[in-house]
Structures are given as structure tokens and as C-alpha cells.
Amino acid sequence: MANTILVGAQWGDEGKGKIIDVLTESADVVVRTQGGNNAGHTVFVGKKKFVLHLIPSGILRMRKTCVIGNGVVIDPVDLVAEIDHLAELGVKVKNLFISQSAHLVLPYHRELDEQREALKGKNKIGTTKRGIGPAYGDKAARTGLRMIDLISPERFASVLRDRINEHNEILKALGAKPLSYEQVHADYRKAGDRLKPYVTDTVVLLHKATQKGLEILFEGAQGTFLDIDHGTYPFVTSSNTTSGGACTGSGVPPNRIDRVVGVMKAYITRVGEGPLPTENPEIADMLHAMGREFGATTGRPRRCGWFDSVATRHATMVNGIDDLAVTNLDGLDSLETIKVCIGYRDGSAKYDYVTADIETLSKCKPVYAEFPGWKVSTSKAKSWKELPVKARGYLKAIAELSGAKLKIVSVGPAREQTIML
């Protein structure tokens, strides 16, 4: 399969979990490199539904090495709960390796996330409130705690006390309840003892894997336009969700990467605030009425709209996408006409890329091309030929507009509902 980075080409929730699961079959190692438990990757194995937040999807297949890389931020208490939940569902978490350099999400990060969102009022970002931004903030400010600290009891105790005292001052100033050092210490040390057997130097582990010629799949979380540098800032998450983040977040250098796969829905969705030029309430109502498009982590209804090829072309540029996986084609099955955004317009100005000027982007109006709908169910199609001609035409057009090769089409949540081209 070669070393492959998989990224979301839109605003997250592109159906990456399922595509990763399908690609994992031919990988040896699956690595998460950024984000934290703000992610929610849904995978169906038979009728069983799994929602993974921190653990790479490779855990659902036999004999795959799963790595949580240095670029991830880890809430250790939540990670233990995820391991236990998987055990209840019959999945033994073996072959998991956690980077000793990954930073911790602490209860004061979650509290700060909540308080800052409340303070922003109508300008809020709409975060998942998992403490992701404040945890990455501490990492950048060099005041974070890492997995290596968590599993060193004395070091953890002394540093944590100082950090809790500092953060309690901030929390008090914000009118929030201060945290009890004893409680946090007890909860985190307990989690630390459970996680210790998994913690290692994953950079060396991955280097050895590449030397042995093992194939690595880098499991991206969130999507291109939630990237801290390339997304619709400030309405973004706090990590590099684009392909470069896979290298910095794992320690595997760029010259060991063979291809980049971009995952995109056949339409578009977003959760949280911020611009979404092709947003369309009617599409949202249709998809929600079908029971689709509710967030895997927070359950929030997602905002929905028409496929935006300006955005996906930009994503191809920023990530170096070679191959495309289009998901949720079946969501459009009932439509008479399907629109695709082929450009943005703001007054007399035209844009064929996603401008970094958020005010301009918010004013941009989409320019649409129209495609005829196929109006039959695609969910049972097993091959390209079994797809309706109009659906094939639509897929070819959106891949061409996005500037990469169409390689995978997904017509439902099950592993079998995947067409490889």
C-alpha cells in the first residue's frame, strides 16, 4: 500500500474513519498524529458500530500496530475509558503504542475551553469543549505536561501542583470553580498506571518500521479547513490537520511518504461556527430527516451544503492529494438536481481558491454548476459499472474539479459498501 497519509479535504467529518478502516487492511501500522478526543471516527464492523476518539481505527483489525504519535494531545482518563469501552465491545487493545512526548489534556484545559467559549458569546468558535485549544496552547507556551511526565510519579506530582495553582488563579478570575489538586492527581495517576505499558518512544518505533519496509497509514483527524494554519482561522481546531502535520506529529520525515489520500463527502458539512460558503438549509433538513449528519463526538447536528470544488481544489493544493475517496454518495440519491460550487464571487471580485481573509470569505457567494440527479438508490452498488450513469458523471466531475484521481467511492457505512476504482 506504500506509506499513505489520509486527510480530510473539507471541514472534518468526511467519513475518514470508514476509509481508514478499509485502507488499514493492507497497512501494517496505523498512526494518529494530531488532534485529540475532539475527533470521532465511526467504523461499522458487520452490524457493530464503533466510535473511536483517540485510538487509531487499526485497532479493529487483527495484528495491526497502532500508534498515538507525539503530535496528539491525550486526555489519559478518557483514553482509559475508550480502552475499557472497546474491551466491553469485544476488542482487546493490544499492539497500541503511545508517544512519550504527546501532551496531556488536563481538567483545567477543558474548563478553560468552556469558559473562553462562554466569554466569546456570539463570536464563539463552537469547539467540542474537550480542552484541545488550551492544551495545544500550553504546549506552544512550553508549560504543558507530557505522557513521560504522567508515568513518572514524582515529577508529575510536583509539576502538576504548580500548574493547578497557576490555572486556579485564572479560573477564579473567570468566575469558575477552582480544581482540587488531590482529585486531579489521583485520577490522572490512576490513568497513568494503566497507560504506562503502552508508552514508548514512537519516533524510534516508526523509524524501525520504515527500515523494515512496513507500510504505514497516517490517520488524519478533522479536515483541511480546520487546520490552524490553512483553515478558516479563527474558526479552526488547534493542530495541523493537513498532510504536513502527519510528519511533524509522528517524526516520520516527508521523504518517507509515498502518497496522500484526500477524503471528501459528495456534499459538504461543518460543525461549529465559521464560514461555509455553500451552506444550504434545505440540504441540511433532507439529510437530518434521513438520520444523517449528527456529530460523532458531540451529537450536534452538522451544517450541510452543496459540494464546494473551490474548497476541495484548495485542499488538493495544500495537502498534495494524489487520490480521492468520495463518501456519502448515497446521501444525494433522491435529488432531482445537484449543485456544485465552481467559484466564489464577492461583488465584482472572483475567487478560485479559499481566501485567508475570513471577512471576505464570509461574504463570498458561490457560483454553481448543475448536474442531473440519478434518483435511484446507490447503496447496493458493488462496482463502478453498477453505479447509475448520472452518478458516475457527477463523481467524475467533482474529482476533476478537485484536481486529483478518484480512487474510492463509498455508498454506505459498511465495509462492503465501498467501490475501489
Enzyme catalytic residues: 13, 41
d(CA 179, CA 130): 16
Which pairing describes strands 303-305 and 268-270: parallel, antiparallel, or unpaired?
A: antiparallel
Nearer of residues 209 and 311 to ligand IMP, judged by Cβ: 311
**Residue 301 binds ligand IMP, judged by CB under 6 A:** no
Residue range at the interface with ligand IMP (CB under 6 A); choices 119-127, 309-317, 332-340, 403-411 = 119-127
Of 309, 360, 301, 311, the C-alpha closest to 339 is 309
Q: Which helix (H) or strand (E) holds 74?
A: strand 73-74
Dihedral (CA of 85, 127, 103, 211) sign: positive
Query: Which x/- pattern, by CB under 6 A, does the window 27-66 give for ligand IMP?
Result: -----------xxx--------------------------
Q: Which helix (H) or strand (E) holds 7?
A: strand 4-8
**Residue 12 binds ligand IMP, judged by CB under 6 A:** yes
Q: Cell numbers 463570498 label which residue?
A: 364
Find the shortest distance in angstroms from Cβ 171 to ligand IMP: 18
Q: Please classify residue 383 by burial: count the beta carbons closer than 10 Å to its beta carbon, then call 0-12 exposed, 13-18 middle and 19+ buried.
A: exposed
Q: Please classify residue 280 by burial: count the beta carbons closer than 10 Å to its beta carbon, then call 0-12 exposed, 13-18 middle and 19+ buried.
A: middle
Query: Which x/- pattern, by CB under 6 A, does the window 122-161 give for ligand IMP?
Result: ---xxxx-x-xx----------------------------
Contact 300, 271 (CB under 8 A): yes
Nearer of residues 222 and 410 to ligand IMP, judged by Cβ: 222
Q: What DSSP state is assigned to residue 89?
A: T
Please give the span between the terminal C-alpha atoms of the chain, in angstroms, as a whole number.
15
Phi, psi of 56 (to 5 degrees): -60, 145
Q: Cell numbers 464560514 label which residue?
A: 275
The cell for 65 is: 500496530
Residue range at the interface with ligand IMP (CB under 6 A); choices 120-128, 162-170, 339-347, 375-383 = 120-128
Q: Looking at 271, 325, 387, 399, which residue binds ligand IMP (CB under 6 A)?
A: 271
Query: Which x/- pattern, by CB under 6 A, does the window 376-405 give for ligand IMP?
Result: ------------------------------
d(CA 15, CA 220): 11
Query: Which x/- pattern, by CB under 6 A, does the window 202-231 give for ligand IMP?
Result: -------------------xx---x-----
d(CA 421, CA 325): 10
| CA distances from residue 137 to 134, 164, 379 in whole angstroms, order as listed | 5, 16, 43
Strands (E), 215-348: 216-219, 259-265, 268-270, 303-305, 307-308, 323-327, 337-346
> What's the one-letter identity of residue 184?
V
**Residue 413 binds ligand IMP, judged by CB under 6 A:** no
The cell for 258 is: 509515498
Nearer of residues 98 and 221 to ligand IMP, judged by Cβ: 221
Residue range at the interface with ligand IMP (CB under 6 A); choices 63-71, 150-158, 233-241, 275-283 = 233-241
Find the shortest distance in angstroms from Cβ 128 to ligand IMP: 3
Can you give the binding site for ligand IMP, defined by CB under 6 A?
Answer: 12-13, 38-40, 125-128, 130, 132-133, 221-222, 226, 235, 237-238, 271-272
